[in-house]
């Protein structure tokens, strides 16, 4: 290890300090991190005050995290890193469903529910029915696949954001597909909403004059035996911010029509008020 640490010798000295790391993957990561971080510092040449501000920002980001709020995921999201990681890890068969970010609010276990149950525990908002199937890339239905769903309410808030107004589990459900790989649940049409802006990530967006909004969507994680799970969304067609999602997660293949249905017979069959919205979302998994 170099004893004369200078601007010219800095990178090599730090990389060499990790040369005995037993795990080869970790050794590779630490070396690459050091080289890229040092290159970044050389590129921007921060003042000491600016570097202290950067450390204070990261410290505040960590301090904002708790059991129901993950500010570092939010930071990763708004910098596009979460979606870049998804893209790198989503090199899949063309027919398989596109993945998107997990988001910062998958923080509790979704309650198991029966097919056809409602995930709206407050009986508010515009009624909606979501149907679909989980299938393999060759179209084979996947019975007993697990479909984990979560969404915000009609005002754009998740249950964990409003513990005094929403019961834990509102807008969440864990469903098991039937023999045909089908699932169905009742809910309300979600709203577009701003990501939390009361922390360091909000300050970052404000400094960059970026808006904090996400288009209306429902989160899904689907998995089946012998298949790779997928973390994804469906986005409500026509929602504001589809073209400028604050976390870069919109993919055209995931934008779905939430069609208005005005049919009392159909509404009664689903157990919802008439009229209602109906969306269909088939999830295609590739073999693991």
Note whether 80 and 89 are within 8 A (CB). no
- The stretch 253-271 carries a mean pLDDT of 97
SS3 readout for 176-222: ECCCCCEEEEEEECCCCEECCCCCHHHHHHHHCCCCCEECCEEEEEE
Reply yes or no on whether the pLDDT at 5 is more than 60. Answer: yes
- pLDDT at position 56, please? 98
Reply yes or no on whether the pLDDT at 170 is more than 90. Answer: yes
- pLDDT at position 1, please? 52
How much of the chain exceeds pLDDT 70, in percent?
A: 99
pTM over 0.85: yes
Segment among 106-115, 150-159, 219-228, 240-249 with least mean pLDDT: 106-115
Which string of DSSP letters, residue by residue, matches 9-78? THHHHHHHHTTT-SSHHHHHHHHHHHHHHHHHHHHH---HHHHHHHHHHHHHHHHT-BTTB-HHHHHHHH
- pLDDT at position 90, please? 77
Cα dihedral value 141, 143, 145, 146, nearest 10: 130
Phi-psi region of 192 (alpha: psi -120 to 50; beta: other; left: phi over 0): beta
SS3 state at 262: coil
SS3 state at 159: helix
- Residue environment code for 93-119, b if the CB has 16+ CB neighbours within 10 A, otherwise e: eeebbbbbbbbbbbbeebeebeeebbb
Reply yes or no on whether the pLDDT at 209 is more than 90. Answer: yes
Q: How confident is the model at residue 274 (pLDDT cuts 50, 70, 90)?
A: very high
- pLDDT at position 174, please? 97
Segment among 100-114, 151-165, 243-257 with least mean pLDDT: 100-114
Residue 282, token pair as written in the block: 């088939």
SS3 state at 288: coil
Q: How confident is the model at residue 2 (pLDDT cuts 50, 70, 90)?
A: low
**Structural domain spans, the chain:** 1-45, 76-285
| 106-124 tens-digit pLDDT | 877 899 999 999 999 998 8
135 vs 222: CA distance, rounded Å: 10
- The stretch 246-258 carries a mean pLDDT of 96
| 10-54 tens-digit pLDDT | 999 999 999 999 999 999 999 999 999 999 999 999 999 999 999
SS3 state at 268: helix
76 vs 1: CA distance, rounded Å: 33
260 vs 218: CA distance, rounded Å: 17
Q: What number of CA atoms fall less than 13 Å from residue 48's CA on the CB side? A: 0
13 vs 93: CA distance, rounded Å: 43
Fold assignment, 76-285 = Protocatechuate 3,4-Dioxygenase, subunit A (2.60.130)
Q: How confident is the model at residue 85 (pLDDT cuts 50, 70, 90)?
A: very high
């Amino acid at each position: 290890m170099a004893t004369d640490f200078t601007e010219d010798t800095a990178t090599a000295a730090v990389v060499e300090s990790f040369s005995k790391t037993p795990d080869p993957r970790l050794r590779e990561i630490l070396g690459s991190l050091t080289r890229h971080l040092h290159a970044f510092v050389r590129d921007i040449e921060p003042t000491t005050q600016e570097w202290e501000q950067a450390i204070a920002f990261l410290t505040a980001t960590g301090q904002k995290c708790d059991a129901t709020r993950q500010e570092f995921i939010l930071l990763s999201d708004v910098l596009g890193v979460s979606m870049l990681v998804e893209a790198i890890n989503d090199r899949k068969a063309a027919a398989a469903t596109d993945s998107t970010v997990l988001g910062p609010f998958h923080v509790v276990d979704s309650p198991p529910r029966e097919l056809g149950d409602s995930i709206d525990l407050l009986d508010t908002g515009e009624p909606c029915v979501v149907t679909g199937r989980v299938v393999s890339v060759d179209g084979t239905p996947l019975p007993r696949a697990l479909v984990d769903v979560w969404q915000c309410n009609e005002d754009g808030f998740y249950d964990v954001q409003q513990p005094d107004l929403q019961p834990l589990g509102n807008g969440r459900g864990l469903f098991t597909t039937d023999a045909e790989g089908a699932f169905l649940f009742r809910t309300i049409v979600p709203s577009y909403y701003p990501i939390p802006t009361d922390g360091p990530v909000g300050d970052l967006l404000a400094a960059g004059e970026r808006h904090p909004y996400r288009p209306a969507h429902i989160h899904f994680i689907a998995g089946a035996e012998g298949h790779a799970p997928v973390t994804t969304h469906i986005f409500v067609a026509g929602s504001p911010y589809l073209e400028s999602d604050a976390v870069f997660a919109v993919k055209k293949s995931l934008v779905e029509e939430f069609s208005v249905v005005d049919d009392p017979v159909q509404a009664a069959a689903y157990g919802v008020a008439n009229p209602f919205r109906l969306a269909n979302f088939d999830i295609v998994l590739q073999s693991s």
